[in-house]
Every structure is written in structure tokens, then in C-alpha cells.
Amino acid sequence: MSQVVFSAQTRANKGSLEARKLRRLGRIPAVIYGRKSDPISIDLDQRDFMNGIKGISESTIVKVDINGKICEAFVKATQRDIKDGAVLHVDFYEIEGNTPLRARVSLNLHGNPIGVREGGILETPLRDIEVECLPKDMPERLDVDISSLKANQSIHVRDLSLGSGVKLITNPDMVVALVKFAKVEAAPVEAAESEIEADAAAPAAAGDKKPEKDKEKEK
């Protein structure tokens, strides 16, 4: 996948009024900040951003072209309208090539587990993990093949294959995927039949016992 490039321009005016004007013009107000540099207020073309952001995760490094100056950054956060999902604001985090950084890398689970084909239930409690590395070593995502998972088997974070120079931050004992069988409960019909048999046996047992008065007559 080729690196996504967003074209942007600096904006001098700030505030909610200016932001609304930009949105009416089809622009998205944004800011790009880093560890050492001061935040820069920018704006982006809304259509270009919506097309470019498809498939991007927190660990995807993009390029931001600000008036001809290229910066590499993460799309750190997007603020959306709760009504229609339109992007209202974007935060970019500028990276430095020789400085290690932390990011969350999404997990792409693929394959149909053996245990599921045999009647088991697949659980996937973890969707991403946190790692630390240089920007050049940062994976966009981690592909995890779960097709060989059998019943009562699991894959943990420690089992994942990370690239060279990538340090794991997430707890290695956390479960990524597991297959387990559901507990088999007694069938309702069988339980009902057992109750009927018990009720039928009770009167018969009671009938075997003669009243005390009848015993005296027999004497």
C-alpha cells in the first residue's frame, strides 16, 4: 500500500466561527503537532481526506503536504458529528525518523478455525496491541492466522510475530483469540420426563401402605 498524502494549507484564523466557515467551503480544520515543534493550524480538503483515510489505523504513517513542506505523521484523532458522522476536526501527530514512538497496531484475524468447524465458539477479545519502535519499523497491522485453532486452544499476544526492532508494550499473556465449546445443558424434554416418572412413582408407593384401622379389622 502506497503512503497516503494529504494536501493542506496553513490557516491564520482560529475559533469555532472560522471552523464553520471552512466546513461550509468543503474544508476540514486540523492541527499538526509534535514532541518538539509548536502546533500548526491547517485545513484539508474534505473529500480528499475522506477518501485517503479509508483503511488507515493509528499506526499508519501518512504524509501531510503543508504549502509544499512534507511532514510525516499519524492521524491521531478525528472529531465527528454525532448526527451524520461528518469529520469536524483532525489531529495529526508529527513523527521524527530517529525517535522511537509508541502506537497501537490493529490485529487482522483471518482463517476459519478447526474448532469452529467442529462446533466450537470463537472469541476475539483483543483488536489491537501497543508497540514501541522507530517509525520505519512500525507495522500498519499484524496479520494473525487462526485457521489451525482447535477446541480449547488459544493464541496469546506473546505468540504474535513482531518485526525486527519492534518492542511489545501490551501484556504478553493477553488472549488474542480462543475457541471453546459451549456447555451442554440437559434437554428440557428429558427433565420433564424425569419429573413425570417421579410423580407417578409417589402414589404407588403410598398405596402399598394400609391405614391403621384396616389393620385392626383384619385382626
Q: Give the residue-averaged pLDDT of 150-164.
A: 93
pLDDT of 202: 53
Residue 13's identity, in one-letter code, is N
Q: How many CA atoms lie within 13 A of 76 on its CB side?
A: 14
Query: 108-145 pLDDT, tens per residue?
Result: 999 999 999 999 999 999 999 999 999 889 998 999 99
Residues in a beta bridge with 62: 73
Q: What are phi and psi of 154, to 5 degrees?
A: -145, 160
Give Cα 164 distance to the centre of its chain: 24
d(CA 21, CA 27): 9
Query: 4-55 pLDDT, tens per residue?
Result: 999 999 988 788 888 899 999 999 999 999 877 789 999 999 999 999 998 7
Q: Is the pTM of this model over 0.95?
A: no
148 in the Ramachandran plot: left (φ > 0), alpha (ψ -120 to 50) or beta? alpha
Residue 217's identity, in one-letter code, is K
d(CA 63, CA 72): 5
Q: What are phi and psi of 36, to 5 degrees?
A: -110, -25
| SS3 state at 115 | helix
d(CA 42, CA 66): 8
Whether 131 contacts 162, CB under 8 Å: yes
C-alpha cell, 29? 480544520
CB burial of residue 88 (10 Å; 0-12, 13-18, 19+): middle
d(CA 121, CA 27): 46
Whether 64 contacts 8, CB under 8 Å: yes
Chain mean pLDDT for the chain? 85
pLDDT of 190: 55
